[in-house]
Amino acid sequence: MNKDYYKTLNIKRNATQAEIKKAFRKLSKTHHPDKGGNENTFKEMSEAYDTLGDEGKRQKYDRGEQNPFAGFGGGRGGGPSPEDLFNQFFGGQHQSRKVNKGRNLSIPLKVTLDDVYFSRVKSLRYRRNIICSDCSGSGGRTQQCSFCGGRGRKETMVGNAFFKQVRTDICKPCKGRGRLVTNACNSCVGEGLVNEDKLIDFKIPKNLQTGQQYTFRLMGDERVNGEAGDLYLEVVILPHQHFKLVGQDLIYEPYLSVIDLMVGTKIDIPHFDGKIAATVKADSDLDSTFVVRGKGMTHAGSTIIRPKITLPKHLNSFEVESLVAIKTNRQ
């Protein structure tokens, strides 16, 4: 007797091809093994769609003839595999099963602009969980978990009289390990993991920008029967006494008086490589900027001088007379 493929896809017998396709696509999102679904359920769905989604096979099926599908990839029907059907709907790419990973860790790194310019090496210490070497992560003496039969997962049938599905959850008593600890390890107290203080060296790149994140693969918490998580390094560049960083340029904002702009002056820039002598030309505008090329964070950057203009607060009589004379001559 043929299987009830219409019931498998939860559709009516007079469903159109578009409705059949839509039903299979919807169910695939839930029941594909890579999505946490049951493999046998997905195979039955795929078998149903391969038959009902083909008009010729559907007609034979509706007439009660022998199942034209006869299994995936090796039966008389020679139909496509469940993965082939799934990939037709979702981009043609195989989705690998999720790998059990340990916890990802994130630590901040505060650096100075000097650290970045000289590309210094920073040593970072952090704590992570690693597999206990005394019990190899088992937690101690164990026995098979009676709640899940050693599988680490439990299957529960959910649904109604018309459509049922199998839901798979991690076994809570054994936390997915498949075994229960009967005599705990003294080192890890049955957890299978112990703390480790880890030290890593990080060479700061000269093109570093604040807010950048660096990833160290498998340097996070380890996991029994899985792979370690990752370590994320989040970098913050602290404010500098003299400079602001914009891309690879250094912004220097010295205080200059209006008179300095009028008659010109020389300033010393406290650069990382030593003082740089720069000249402010006479008759410069209030919003003038001055560029020293090749003296940024890298040779591709520059030091850009943006003067902050100040006004003289106390003038003696001679200074006042001089300014009045200048004003008179320029009128």
Domains and CATH numbers, the chain: 5-89 (1.10.287.110), 243-310 (2.60.260.20)
pLDDT of residue 74: 39
- Residue 237: which of 204, 269, 273 has the closest Cα? 204
Point out the residues of the chain with pLDDT beneath 70. 1-2, 33-36, 65-99, 159-164, 319, 327, 330-331
pLDDT of residue 286: 83
pLDDT of residue 231: 94
The Cα–Cα gap between 120 and 101 comes to 32
Count of residues making up the chain:
331
Tokens 């680490």 — which residue? 152
pLDDT of residue 157: 74
pLDDT of residue 149: 86
The Cα–Cα gap between 122 and 254 comes to 31
67-92 residue pLDDT tens: 544 444 433 344 555 555 555 555 54
pLDDT of residue 55: 85
Tokens 């009289």 — which residue? 161
